[in-house]
Structure 1
């Protein structure tokens, strides 16, 4: 355990409070002397992983780019993907066409790049030629002559049948008469006039019976003749169809030959052949002619001609390299395509011409870049993407089709083979969550490209930063930055990284600082950005966001929030917390008090008792109790109850950064030694009393300093911090000046014994504890409390 050294021997100097860059070390006067360079800074690990993932062509080697926002990962990914895509051939065109055997299942046809639109144009021209050829063929004299000859031939045969029937009827004394309702037989008298019914009924019964028998014979003959005529009419219709089909085939078949010959793809040739056969079959609907056989005029059907169109789904016209698609709004339809519907007689119908592509279609054969957060907010999309990668095809469907009205027509387009490299952009937390809970992530995204939020602060890193600043200023019309301004920006970047030996690779805040510094330079009327412009930009930014901080400060100054920065009190110490308003964080001191008395409850956390303590804070209190027991109750049971309170806090408290501060308050209460109220403390503690680092050290120190300055600096005030946090210090100029002048102090400590010495001015003590040390007084008090507790339990 450390001995009681003087406070001044453990104080930090002003050189410890910030890692400063000397402008002279940069090697230039201003950034106009530098050549703007475009490269990713401080991400060698990510660059290597990205290069591997983009060139690895085995299945499943898609990329998950993980890292905090503002590191430039999106810009780098897009630049790198486009760079790689240039060296890959353009992707295929894809078209949907009508399936003549199953209209609800359109065919997907693949074409070399830039040939899909050409094929669609060729088919459209072909159909124009087909319509013209059909119209011409069926209006020709030869066609009309053949139709006329066919009609004459059938008419002569029909006339011959009727003549034979009439002659046959005359042999029996009957004639045939055609009426509106058919053909009837009429009995004739010798003079050729019709026999009336009265005359028939006046005849002898034998003659009547004979006439009826003849009439039956004639009726049978008539029926046979009518059947024969019907057969001749069917034969005529069949012959007309044959003539029409032969005429249509002769008119259009040769038109398909060039397109069939040019296409070397069997699927395309098969579809063209089916198209040709369908055109011949439906030639009547495709021409506008007077058809002699029926005597009607037929117009081309719009709905029919739609089936002969080509829906160019993906068109790579003008592209010479693999596609790179960034889908900023990956809804299901935007990603996988959709089928549009139209209302027809109360129902929703669709055809293949209403199929629209999605981002996967456009990126097929290339690269697709997506934000993973956008996918996860739409679970159907995430599952659909994994399914597409697993099956290696794109299926256009409605994921909610089973919930639609029954009147919606179902269209099932043929799937399209998928070959795409998917790059997901997200954070490390999302990657970790998916890796743990979604096993398919490991299967489909085998390459993790991890961007770091910081890089080592080296001369080479400083040079790269300076070139980045030069490139950004040049590209965005900003004045050049002086070496002093660049040095100040490097210091700010190091502060954002949280360590003296690091630089931040989150460039969004740096870019904001460049723009704001340039703004103040223009107001000042200067030709170059100086360090004062950077400082003013930082000061103005803090000023814009510090309203809540100023209100809290005012509450402390007017006594609403009780914080003492002078004098001394037993069992009371200033702890430090960090409050955040989203874009601004600041430190606020809190009074922590402890009361100790006889009992067996140990350390009682009032916040926990009132459900205002988080799990980590509770853990810190349990560790604190373990330290007390191990240090002072190794042989005698710890018979004490200690209540700890964060005074005037009414919201949840979490974190263990105040555990050492709470321990100081308990030690002061047990020993009766007062704590200097001008000193605040922060740091977590382990079971052995060792001080551990915490977050927000700069905000905590500055928060307490400004309270002390507002109430009046005495030269004895300061803050105790964990020694590990020294390299995280980036304190403001006023704090540095106060430290340099001796009006404010910062003490790094490694053990709780060092902290209690600074707070009380007494040695902590070593075993065996001297009664004039803090620990000696604590031990003597605990022995007294143990005796009191034992006597209370066993009064005899």
Structure 2
């Protein structure tokens, strides 16, 4: 196939499938996702599968509408799904370090908390009032009187027994003292000493028996006091029980569907009764808040909204996912309790859907680990990340774990997906559904009409001026340009929206009713101007002669190659001057960039491939003995890629055969060992970059670029380039192989009539190589 010189008609894009309309106001709005059927089917499958492990990883670029689609899809299905239970933490009366997790019917956890708070608050009024009632006071006095009488009878019996033995009884700190009586008076120590031994022994014996009796009285009195206290406590308990049990019964009737709640209410009732004195403080008594915290209810989730919850966690770090136990400083010590347990996004999404940005997740410390462990174990266990770093961990709460049932949707790109898939075995088990949003959408009649409907919908929903047909065409061209192919549209609608927004501002500023073609072109020009600072500086360097460029005439071993400079949000094409020198030797092709450690692996491979082509074409008759140095002149950074390998090969052959080649034409394309030209990326930027340089120095019709034939569909060029081609001032050539390149680059008088160009080139190269070989053999 012969090379093809493109005409304006070949490059002018036509959209014949668009309906006839004046503005998008006439077009039916389309607000669904466009051209992502594969991803939609995968997402729908993942949402239908309720088994564990069928979480979804959504691949795609930002701005493709994937997040919006997923949120809308989830809102659509979640409203019809079962609303999950509420969860709360309550005090564990058996083990204060192990709070109990209670699940309640959806939307009732806050009501449960209020009911418990009201119950506790009411006791501060009812308990004092209860214990001040006349009936209670009488019952209490009867118990006290009874035990006072029994105690008095016991002591009186001791007094009577002592009197019968002629002793008087006196109370002391240690108990009772017994003093003998003589002549109705207490015996003095002198009188006692004057007694004979027999009387002394009798007194001693009587005192001994009285002491035994006194001990018995003390024992029985102590027992009576204990029994009195027990009866008073039972009176208090019974009095309080009647009031408390009624309220507890009401709570059981309301929340008794859960056995754990019933047990908690029983434990609560028991603890309140055991600590009934805490509710009897006076008006001026200060309430011990730390004690009454045990009766709080810590609401973790309250699902009042019907349906399954949908949660988007924009900062999925460890404790934001699984929750955290907070601490407070109390007299220099860190203390905590179950009321300081805070829920995480897994709690809020439990029973529903959790959406997480994968890059954010992997950027946080231990965030991926927390999510992975929760999904594997199917429960949420709250723990403090801080304790993992403490040499001596703080005694921490161990809240009861909460069962987990959630569908996780990760949003990321294919690099993150394959990174996790290859290096984390758990990822394969947990994320069995991959939904991939394509970055480019193949253009057909259906997609074209949906894209048109999307423009109409966006303008209508944002109160923007509608878009004329010619302006719509410019938006289509811009979308094709972003996808780098005239048969595809970009799926990054965010970039399209930006241009519509800026076009609308321009339209409104001129008091226009509709966004027209000029508005869109002006918006695109403004976008270009904002981002082209570095490009303009490079063009200035060409203009000032700091970058050397040859744009006319013929030269041997020198050619203009093309490259693309990527700056993140902007890229542009640049000319690169490649020079080749050849001389006698046996080292073959020397890549100067590689020798200077400025060449990437793909570029090195390209040099090796062109060496293979040289050997196949010229090394069939005799061994090749030559040295060739290939250099990218004025390149001070690294180089990567093989898109310049065709240019390098042409310059090498030019040097070996002393063949002059045109300097007004640049070339891009990679070469294989058969001499075929293969497609490259960034073709539009490369063409426009060389065009800008030629245009700056003056176009004369000889300038142009050679590109691979297979890059034809990628051509979506700016109007300036198209107009120059239409006027015959600039040329684009499509080639399939290296022979066609030489047909374009060699002078018309390089060969005689009827001579084969490649045979002439081959003959001239072989003559030089044979001369080199002969010298090397001597």
Q: What pairs with 1:513-532 in structure 2 (closer than 5 Å)?
A: 513-532=499-518
- SS of the equivalent of 2:701 reads coil
State the partner residue of 1:685. 671
How far off its partner does 1:246 sit?
2.2
Q: Residue 90 in 1 paired to residue 77 in 2?
A: no
Output the TM-score relative to the length of structure 2. Answer: 0.95
2:691 corresponds in structure 1 to: 705
Deviation (angstroms), 1:178: 1.7
Displacement of 1:783: 1.4
1:785 aligns with 2:765: no
Equivalent residue pairs, number? 774
Q: What's the CA shift for 1:199? A: 3.1
Match of 1:636 in 2: 622
Contact 2:318 2:365 in 1 (8 A): no
Shift of 1:10: 2.4
- Of 449, 453, 461, 2:439 maps to 453
CA apart distance, 1:777: 0.8
- Alignment match, 1:294: none
Tell me how large the CA RMSD over aligned residues is. 2.2
Q: Is 1:306 aligned to 2:293, yes or no?
A: yes
CA 1:581–1:432: 2 relative to 1, 3 Å: same
Name the counterpart of 2:158. 165
User: 2:158–2:213: 8 Å Cα contact kept in structure 1?
Assistant: yes
How far apart are residue 108 of structure 1 and its match? Answer: 1.3
Q: Which residue of 1 aligns with 2:570?
A: 584
**Compared CA separation, residues 726 and 250, structure 1 to 2 (3 A):** same
Tell me what 2:484 maps to. Answer: 498
What residue in structure 2 maps to residue 252 of structure 1?
244
1:739-760 Cα deviation digits (max 9, x unpaired): 2222221111111121123222
Taking the aligned partners of 2:155 and 2:698, their CA distance within structure 1 comes to 133
2:10 corresponds in structure 1 to: 16
Distance 2:246 2:492 in 1: 67
Q: Secondary structure of 1:103's partner?
A: coil
Deviation at 1:539, TM superposition (A): 1.2
Matches within 5 A, 1:375-524: 375-404=361-390, 408-524=394-510
Task: Tell me how far 1:387 sits from its aligned partner.
Answer: 0.9
Matches of residues 128-139 of structure 1 in structure 2 within 5 Å?
A: 128-139=121-132
Residues 1:125 and 2:118 are matched in the alignment: yes
Gaps of 5+ in 2: none
Find the residue that maps to 1:250 and give its secondary structure.
helix
Q: Which residue of 2 aligns with 1:107?
A: 100
- Give 1:303 shift: 3.0
After superposing the two structures, state which structure 1 stretch, 530-539 or 200-209, moved more: 200-209
Give the CA deviation at 1:18.
4.2
2:356 to 370, 382, 387: 370
Instruction: Provide closer, same or farther for how the CA distance between residues 237 and 37 of structure 1 changes in structure 2, counting only shifts above 3 A.
Output: same
Q: How far apart, CA to CA, are the structure 2 residues paired with 1:379 and 1:666?
A: 53
1:773 Cα deviation (Å)? Answer: 1.2
Q: Matches of 2:470 and 2:21 in 1, distance apart?
A: 10
Partner of 2:38: 45
Select 1:282's aligned residue among 255, 275, 296.
275
2:583 aligned to which of 580, 584, 597: 597
How many angstroms does 1:374 deviate by? 0.8
Residues in 1 aligned to 2:116 and 2:556: alpha-carbon distance in whole angstroms: 95
> Residues 79 and 742 of structure 1: is their aligned pair in 2 closer, same or farther, counting only changes over 3 Å?
same
SS, match of residue 587 in structure 1: strand
Q: Distance in 2 between matches of 1:784 and 1:770?
A: 22
| 1:56-77 residue CA offsets vs partner (Å, 9 max, x unmatched) | 2122111111011221111111
For 2:468 and 2:370, the matched residues in 1 are separated by: 52
SS at match of 1:277: helix
Asked if 1:266 corresponds to 2:259, the answer is: yes
Q: Distance in 2 between matches of 1:407 and 1:226?
A: 51
The residue aligned with 1:715 is: 701
Partners of 1:356 and 1:764 in 2: CA distance: 85
89-98 vs 645-654, which moves further: 89-98
Normalising by structure 1, we get a TM-score of 0.93
Q: Choose which of 175, 185, 190 in structure 2 pairs with 1:198.
A: 190
Distance 1:137 1:406, change over 3 A: farther
1:289 Cα shift? 7.1
**Pairing partner for 2:213 from 183, 199, 221:** 221
Kindly tell me: are residues 755 and 706 of structure 1, through their superposed partners in 2, closer, same or farther at Cα, counting changes over 3 Å?
Answer: same
Which segment is superposed worse, 44-53 or 606-615? 44-53
2:24 to 11, 24, 31: 31
Q: Distance in 2 between matches of 1:758 and 1:769?
A: 14
CA distance in 1, matches of 2:396, 2:19: 68
Deviation at 1:536, TM superposition (A): 1.0
- SS state of the match for residue 188, structure 1? strand
Please, which of 294, 299, 317 is the counterpart of residue 331 of structure 1? Answer: 317
SS in structure 1 of the partner of residue 182 of structure 2? coil
Q: Does the 8 A contact of 2:387 with 2:393 survive in 1? A: no
Deviation for aligned residue 1:480: 0.9
Q: Do residues 61 (structure 1) and 92 (structure 2) align? A: no
The equivalences for 1:556-567 within 5 A come to: 556-567=542-553
Contact 1:496 1:504 in 2 (8 A): yes
Distance 1:705-1:748 versus aligned 2 partners, 3 A rule:
same
User: CA 1:764–1:614 in 2, change beyond 3 Å: closer, same or farther?
Assistant: farther
Structure 2 partner of 1:656: 642
Which whole-Å deviations, capped at 9, do the CAs of 1:138-158 have from their partners, x for residues lacking one? Answer: 222222222212222222222
Deviations 1:356-403 (A, max 9, x none): 221111111111111111110124111111111111111122133243
Instruction: Give the distance between the partners of 1:387 and 1:648, measured in 2 at CA.
Output: 54
Give the direction of change, closer, same or farther, for the CA distance of 1:25–1:161 in structure 2 (3 Å limit). closer
3-state SS of the aligned residue for 1:42? coil
Q: Distance in 2 between matches of 1:770 and 1:788?
A: 28
| Residues 764, 775 of structure 1: 8 Å contact kept | no
Ranges in structure 1 where 5+ consecutive residues have no aligned partner: 291-296, 792-796
Deviation at 1:559, TM superposition (A): 1.5
CA distance in 1, matches of 2:532, 2:287: 75
**Cα gap change, 1:764 to 1:542, in 2 (>3 Å):** farther
Q: For the Cα contact (< 8 Å) 2:660–2:747, is it kept in 1?
A: no
